[in-house]
Amino acid sequence: MKNILVTGGAGYVGSHVIVSLLEQGYGAVSVDNFYNSSPKVYQRLRELTGKDFIDIEADVCDEAKMKEVMAKHDLWAVIHCAGYKAVPESVSKPLEYYQNNLGTTFSLCNAMRQTGVTRFVFSSSATVYGEPQFLPYTEEHPTGNCTNPYGMSKVMNERILTDMAAANPDWGVVLLRYFNPIGAHPSGRIGDAPGGIPNNIMPYILKVANGLLPVLPIAGDDYDTPDGTGLRDYLHISDLAEGHVAALRYLEDFTGSEAVNLGTGQSVSVRELIRGIEKTSGKTLPTEIKSRRPGDIAEARADVSKAKRLFGWETKKTLEEMCADAWRWASQNPQGYEGE
Ligand code: UDP
Is the pTM above the cut of 0.95? Answer: yes
Length of the chain: 340
Model confidence pLDDT, tens digit, residues 176-206 = 999 999 999 999 999 998 989 999 999 999 9
Compute the distance from residue 219 Cα to the ligand 1 centre, in Å: 7
The residue whose C-alpha atom lies closest to atom 21 belonging to ligand 1 is 200
Q: Which spans in 93-231 are helix H?
A: 94-115, 149-167, 201-209
For 201-221, what is the mean pLDDT?
A: 98
Given pLDDT bands bounded at 50, 70 and 90, which one contains residue 339? confident
Is 97 an active-site residue? no
Our mutation pick for probing the ligand 1 site, out of 123, 229, 232, 285, counting the most ligand atoms within 8 A of Cβ, is 232
pLDDT of res. 264: 98
What DSSP state is assigned to residue 9?
T
Q: Under a CB-based contact definition with an 8 Å cutoff, are residues 299 and 229 in contact?
A: no
Residue type for position 43:
Q
β-strand 119-125 against 75-80: which pairing, if any? parallel
Ligand 1 atom at shortest distance from the alpha carbon of 230: 15
- Tens of pLDDT, residue by residue over 123-182, are 999 999 999 999 999 999 999 999 899 999 999 999 999 999 999 999 999 999 999 999
Out of 90, 154, 201, mutate this one to test ligand 1's pocket (max ligand atoms within 8 Å of CB): namely 201
| Range scoring the smallest mean pLDDT among 78-82, 194-198, 212-216, 273-277 | 194-198
- Selected catalytic residue, list 150, 178, 234, 337: 150
Are 34 and 203 in contact by the 8 Å Cβ rule? The answer is: no
How far is it, in rounded angstroms, from Cα 144 to Cα 165?
A: 19
The Å distance, Cα 208 to ligand 1 centre, comes to 15
Give the Å distance between the CA of 266 and the centre of ligand 1: 16
Q: How far, in Å, from the CA of 131 to the mean position of ligand 1?
A: 15
Query: pLDDT value at position 325?
Result: 98
Q: How many whole angstroms separate alpha carbon 234 and alpha carbon 315?
A: 10
Protein residue with least CA distance to atom 16, ligand 1: 201
Rounded CA separation 145/140 (Å): 14
**Ligand 1 atom at minimum distance from 125 CA:** 24
pLDDT for the residue numbered 340: 66
Burial class of residue 1 (count of CB atoms within 10 Å of its CB; 0-12, 13-18, 19+): exposed
The proportion of the chain whose per-residue pLDDT surpasses 90, expressed as a percent, equals 98
Interhelix angle 94-115/63-72, nearest 10 degrees: 40
Q: Mean pLDDT over residues 85-109, rounded?
A: 97
Measure the CA–CA gap between 64 and 315, rounded to whole angstroms.
38
- Of all atoms in ligand 1, which is nearest to the CA of residue 87? 24
**Which residues have CB under 6 Å of ligand 1?**
180, 199-201, 204, 217-220, 230, 232, 270, 293, 296, 300
C-alpha torsion 132→133→139→142, nearest 10: -100
